[in-house]
Amino acid sequence: MPLSELKEWVSQIATLTKPDQIQWCDGSGNELESIQALLVRQGTIEALNPKTRPNSFIARTDPRDVARVEERTFICSEQEADAGPTNNWMEPSVMRTLMRERFIGSMRGRTMYVIPFSMGPVGSPFARYGIEITDSPYVVASMHTMTRVSQKVLEEIQAGKPWVPAVHSVGMPLVDSQENKIADVAWPCNPEEVYVVHYPETREIWSYGSGYGGNSLLGKKAMSLRIGSVQGRDEGWLAEHMLLIRVTSPENKRYHLAAAFPSACGKTNLAMLRPTIPGWKVETIGDDIVWIAPGENGKLRAINPENGLFGVAPGTSEGTNKAAMDSMDQNVLFTNVATTKDGDVWWEGMSKEPPANLTDWQGKPWTKDSGTLAAHPNSRFCFPMSNTATLCDDWESPEGVELDAILFGGRRATNVPLVVQSRSWQHGVFMGATISSEQTAAAEGPVGVLRRDPFAMLPFCGYNMADYFAHWLSFGEKIAEDSLPKIFQVNWFRKSSDGSFLWPGFGENSRVIDWIISRLEERSEGQQSPIGLMPNISELNLDGLNFEEGELEALFEVDPESWLYEVRSIEQFFERFGAKLPQELRAELIELEARLLQEQGAMV
């Protein structure tokens, strides 16, 4: 598309939204400094102590605008069936009318920023381009970190590369319909009218009413996952909610692992893993989004399309993720954390005892007797990938890296072993399709209340998830089994009968990675179970760890009765997809049940 057509689109959006002025962003350091200074003047961000956190800032949002709003996120495909049962859908023409009504004059009194950005290195065969229009300078500053904002994107568009049009407004004009001026606020938003809307067929994104990053940084979840997954389906690749790491063994052999975990399941910790066992090294390539595509040799290659890291702060500490803490020494934008009297930051879990005289995430004085949290549970840190203490030197390789293994995991106190390898690619897709985390103890049944989050993509798949399962299965048809990555399921969170964790987790998870690599190298045989291949205890490097009697066995226990209950739970989940569910997954469930019944019979 020539730039004249892009400029015409920008002009149309300006005519609709009526900003005071238009600013085209170039991605320069001077531009970022100017935006940061503007945000400080507006009171949206506050500079932290330059001696302890150089060029770092804290933002405090409106208390009503603190997280992604899944119930206000829509996939407006032409046909409702294409959105599927896991997405909110509205007929596209109805939604377009609704959006147009919201956006008329929505930028009055504000500057409209035009942000040309790339997900992936500009010029990479993996790269996909977008233009985000926004009236939020906070979004401009954050997009500078999370994407590659560059004039080169315009050159790629001029050369004919496709791009995703993305429009965002905080939904708070500064001039009303009677031409009266409205006073601005530090965090403008319209929380009663939030919409995050995707049109898969036209690759468009429209976001209204929220300034929070997950709803407003449209290169991230909206483009890289929701629209990206549709592009991947149509173009033969995968857009995934995954981390990506390089693992180097003591023999200096390199392996690349991607992992899909739902929230609160240790994704960022694994992305920045510092192994506790000698000789092993883990380097970060990405912590949240991975694009996977067949390479020239037929094997799958992977890339992190992001340029920054946007992580949850609470629970992050020197003990849980030292690499993350080491990565936050400069150039960080914190959102909704607490601040100390000397201009630094704090959140729950950062230290055992909170510092005295904190200011909480809403800007109020706070002590440990306040009866509230100092930092919001979804408070964030945002920094460029170049900050990352464990960063892989060639993380920006335009060709990506060859993928050796894929891990799936949830937070399960029961049933799911520490690590198990799939029996085949098809079985591995079944594992991914049935990922779950326990939320609360169940009133009946031995498993607990589960939230199924297939491939950790429940909020992010831009089309019918049954078709998404079929797309994953198709790689097993196109690529030879021995050329595909091996698939494993992990669970760091299994508990004993007294409620304590059986596995120490964190850096000790490198021992599980060690066994996974041993399977890739065919050094370990493992043992078959009804749910897949598990380690022989002797194959695990447990040097220096102490377990009570029976704890190791409990980590790998596969109880047929509990698993048959799980089969019923999976059946109920699969029913949501009706006839669209791939028969291969139904077959895997039937075979799982048969193996469990056989095991149960052998135990009688």
Per-residue confidence (pLDDT) for residue 263, from 0 to 100: 81
Does residue 265 carry a pLDDT above 90? no
Average pLDDT value for residue range 527-542: 97
Give me the mean pLDDT over the 439-449 stretch: 43
Please provide the size of the chain in residues: 604
On the 0-12 / 13-18 / 19+ scale of CB atoms within 10 A, 71 is: exposed
Query: What is the tens place of the pLDDT at every residue in 165-208?
Result: 999 999 999 998 889 999 999 999 999 999 999 999 999 999 99
- Of all residues in the chain, the percent with pLDDT exceeding 70 is 98
CA atoms within 13 A on the CB side of 199: 19
Q: Is 36 helix (H, G, I), strand (E, B) or coil?
A: helix
The arithmetic mean of pLDDT across residues 467-480, rounded, is: 97
> Which class is domain 240-307+397-603?
alpha beta
CATH code of the region 3-43+68-235: 3.40.449.10
For residue 442, is pLDDT > 80?
Answer: no
Q: How confident is the model at residue 604 (pLDDT cuts 50, 70, 90)?
A: low
Give the residue among 434, 565, 415, 443 at the shortest CA–CA distance from 502. 415
The predicted structure's pLDDT at residue 581: 98
- Given 2.60.120.260, 3.90.1150.10, 2.170.8.10, 3.30.470.20, which CATH number is that of 308-387? 2.170.8.10
pLDDT over 80 at 594, yes or no: yes
| Residue 264 pLDDT class (50, 70, 90 cuts) | confident
Closest C-alpha among 244, 229, 53, 210 to residue 136: 210
pLDDT in tens, 485-531: 999 999 999 999 889 999 999 999 999 999 999 999 999 999 999 99
pLDDT digits (tens, 9 = 90+) for 66-76: 999 999 999 99
Question: 450 falls in which pLDDT band (50, 70, 90)?
Answer: confident
How crowded is residue 331: how many other Cβ atoms within 10 Å of its Cβ? 19
pLDDT above 60: residue 324: yes
Amino acid at 183: A
| Per-residue pLDDT at 448 | 52
Are 84 and 361 spatial neighbours (Cβ–Cβ below 8 Å)? no
The pLDDT assigned to 356 comes to: 93
Domain map (residue ranges) of the chain? 3-43+68-235, 240-307+397-603, 308-387
- Centre a 10 Å sphere on the Cβ of residue 419 and count the other Cβ atoms it contains: 28
Kind and range of the H or E element at 527? strand 527-529
Supply the mean pLDDT for the chain: 95
- What the block records as the tokens of 530 is 């009804």
> How far is the C-alpha of 582 from the C-alpha of 589, rounded, in Å?
11
Task: Give the relative orientation of helices 3-17 and 92-103 as an angle to the nearest 10 degrees.
Answer: 70
Provide the pLDDT confidence category of residue 272 given band limits of 50, 70 and 90. very high
Catalytic residue annotation? 265
pLDDT of residue 601: 84
Token readout for 455 is 């491939």
Q: Which pLDDT tens digit goes with each residue over 15-70?
A: 999 999 999 999 999 999 999 999 999 999 999 999 999 999 999 999 999 999 99
CB-based burial, 89-125: b 16+ in 10 Å, e otherwise: bbebeebbebbeebbebbbbbbbbbbbbbbbbbbebe
Compare 332 and 262 and report the one with higher pLDDT. 332
CA distance 189 to 197: 17
Which pLDDT score is estimated for 439?
A: 59
